[in-house]
Structure formats: C-alpha cells, structure tokens
Amino acid sequence: MASSNRILSIDVMRGLTLVLMLFVNDLYMPGVPSWLGHMEADFDGMGLADWVFPGFLFMVGMAIPFAIGGRIAKGDANIVIAKHISIRTISLLIIGVLMLNSGRVNAELTGMSKNVWALLMYTGVFLIWNKYPEDSAHFFTVTGLKLLGMALIAFLVFRFNSGQEVNEGSLITGWWGILGLIGWGYIVAAFIYLAFRDNLIYTGLSVIFFLILNILSQLSLLDFLNPFKFLFGTIIDGNVPFIVLSGLFTTLILKKLSGSDYKKLIVTIVTFGLISLIAGFILRKWFIISKIQATPSWGLICNGISLLIFALLYWIMDVRKQINWAFFLKPAGENSLTTYIAPSLLYHLIWISGLPILFYKHSSISLVVIAGSIVWALAMVGLTALLVRAGIKLRL
C-alpha cells in the first residue's frame, strides 16, 4: 500500500475512515438502523456516523509529523513551512465554505439551479487544486486552467444568492463545512508540531490544553470570547483541535517506540485508548455524548475508538504484514481529498441527468438501502483510482 518506510496502517485507516464516510453520507434513508447514522444533537449516544469524521480528524493529526517532518528533513525553513500550512488551511476553508453553501442556492435569484451551481463549483475546485505536471513545458496550460477555475469560482460567488436574510443572501461561513473544520484543526496541530517537533511532553500538554478548552467552552465559561467566535469558533471550542492533536501525539508515540519491541508500542496505544474511553464515560456524567454539540465526552470516546482500531490495524499491517486484503482502500488512503469531493460532483451529475442510478434509495427494504450505499462507497473509491490514472488528483 505504501513504500516500505511508511506506516502502512496509517494509509489503511485513513482509507477506511473515508470509505465509511462515503457510506454513511449516502445512507440517510428511512428504515435504516439508527446505530448506523448520526444521533440528534440532544441525544446522549452515538452511532457509526458519529465516529467516522473524528476518526478521519485523528488520522489528519497522525499524518502531520510525517508530512511536515519530511519538509523539515529536506531543509525547508520554518517560514516556508508556515506558508505551506497557511495556504493549505485557506484552501480547505474556501472549499469547505463553498460546499456548505451549495445547498443554499436560490435558483430564481441566482439564475441557476443548486445542481448546476454545485457542478460548476466542483469543476472550479478541480481546475484550481488539481495536481498538474510541474515541468516548464506545461506552464502556460496549467496556469490557464487554474485561472479559468478561479474565474469560475469568482463568478459563482458573485452570482450566489440564497434568498435568506442571513448575511443578506450571500455566502455564510456557518460551521465551515467538513473540510473547513479539518482546516482549522490542521492549522492548530501543524503549527504546534512546527513549534515543538517531536517533543512528547509539550505536545501532550497541548492535547490537554484543548481538552480543557473544550470543557470550559461546554460550561459556557468562555463566553467572553464570543466576539471572536465568528472566525475562530472551532479553535475556541477546542474539540476539533483536541482530536487532531490526539492523532499527532499518537504518531509521536509511534516514532518513539517503533524501534523497540512492537508489543510495548501496541500495549501503550491500547492503554491510551482505554484511558480515553474511560475518561469519556466519566465525563458523560456532566456532558452527554453528542457529535453535534462537540462534547468532550464524545471527543474522548471517539479518540479511544480510533486508538484501538489503529492498534489492531498496526498489528495486522505493520507487524504481521497482512496487506493484500486492504487493496481496495489504497486509492482512498492515498488520495483522500479527491475521494471525498469526487462523489459530490457525481451526485449532482446524476440529479441533473435524472438517471435512476440511486434507485436503491427508494427501496423500503433496509438491506437494499444499506447494500446500495456500500456499493456506492466502494464504487467511489474505484472512481478515484480512475481519476488519478487520468491525471485528475486534488492536492493542496
């Protein structure tokens, strides 16, 4: 699945969380078991869908020491790395906000339907952020495609009108969308890693700091920061940075203990996983387990699940070298942004065309709906593989 010097289980688990994300995002139909979906905001509990996103956030954190550490090893200056982190974050925020607003399009006031607006928006995203050849022979072609994408996005933003009073019908940042949340968690964890490198103590204290921030926010003790929440609310709330930093901290443990007996490493990760689960259920006395409310109990339990799953995959993939079974996760694990966005573009194409490709969604039989969503998720991984082979691959 990866080169020999990479931790195979990281690619596998990232791919697994993405496939499950595609599955649960496609699954919202009556009659499907509630434990597969999202729970209501005020419900004390969680389903599979409530773990998938934090599971991916955890993997975002795990990848940071390898990605930024590689740049440091190549001799990149801190200012160069900081610029890369900032541009990547801004890109995630922009795409996240565009995706968030695609469902708010007022066709009459905007002059185009939601599906057409979204289809053009995703086309612009691929034009701007595709990984093009870097040789000079393609310079003008690549520059032209990127400028075309920028012009398309600018036109869509200018034309956008929701017909709602909020923000006078213009785009809203709201909760920033999935990619926007990833962006905020990424920038916090990436800069902390840039500052502290592989220091376990300082990174561990950062994890605890954002957990405490999450607790204080849930207790309404940070309301004095409300004027700043319109922009930095995700950071102030603490939950998303806490989860991403937990993944980063796990990689630091991995790097520190990987040269020793693998049993010690796995026992350490499993121990932290069990501690997270226990702490989450203890905090449940004061905070319900709720993804929508982003409670600390939910964050800790999700971290515990992620740690235990990763420990299992590490033992299977990196210790036992049983890798062939995970071949279908490879495209998703290596091309996460393409895997996440490409299906959204395809949804709008299907809705515009009216083709009955999503026929299983109209079934009254739960197993048919579930099986259809499983096939959809796996097909989207296949679509990603085809796009990458054709030279279409998003890279921030």
pLDDT in tens, 19-62: 999 999 998 767 788 888 888 888 999 999 999 999 999 999 99
Number of domains into which the chain is organized: 1
Burial 173-201 (b: 16+ CB within 10 A, else e): beebbbbbbbbbbbbbbbbbbbebeeeee
Identify whether 2 is part of a domain.
Answer: no
pTM value is 0.94
Identify whether 3 is part of a domain.
Answer: no
Identify whether 104 is part of a domain.
Answer: yes
Report, as an integer, the average pLDDT of 257-264. 83
Domain hosting 204: range is 8-389
Identify whether 74 is part of a domain.
Answer: yes
Among 200, 359, 211, smallest CA distance to 287 is for: 211
Neighbours of 321 (CB within 10 A): 9
Give residue-wise pLDDT tens across range 193-233. 999 999 999 999 999 999 999 999 999 999 999 999 999 99
The angle formed by the CA atoms of residues 384, 385 and 386, to the nearest 5 degrees, is 90
Cα separation, 282 vs 317, in Å, equals 33
What pLDDT is stored for residue 261 in this prediction?
Answer: 82
Identify whether 18 is part of a domain.
Answer: yes
Identify whether 394 is part of a domain.
Answer: no
| Token pair 């999202």: residue | 38
* C-alpha distances out from residue 37 to 40, 145, 180, 275, Å: 10, 39, 22, 26
pLDDT at 5 over 60: no
Report, as an integer, the average pLDDT of 99-108. 95
Identify whether 23 is part of a domain.
Answer: yes
pLDDT at 112 over 50: yes
Identify whether 66 is part of a domain.
Answer: yes
- For residues 160 and 171, is the Cβ–Cβ distance under 8 A? yes
What pLDDT is stored for residue 319 in this prediction?
Answer: 92
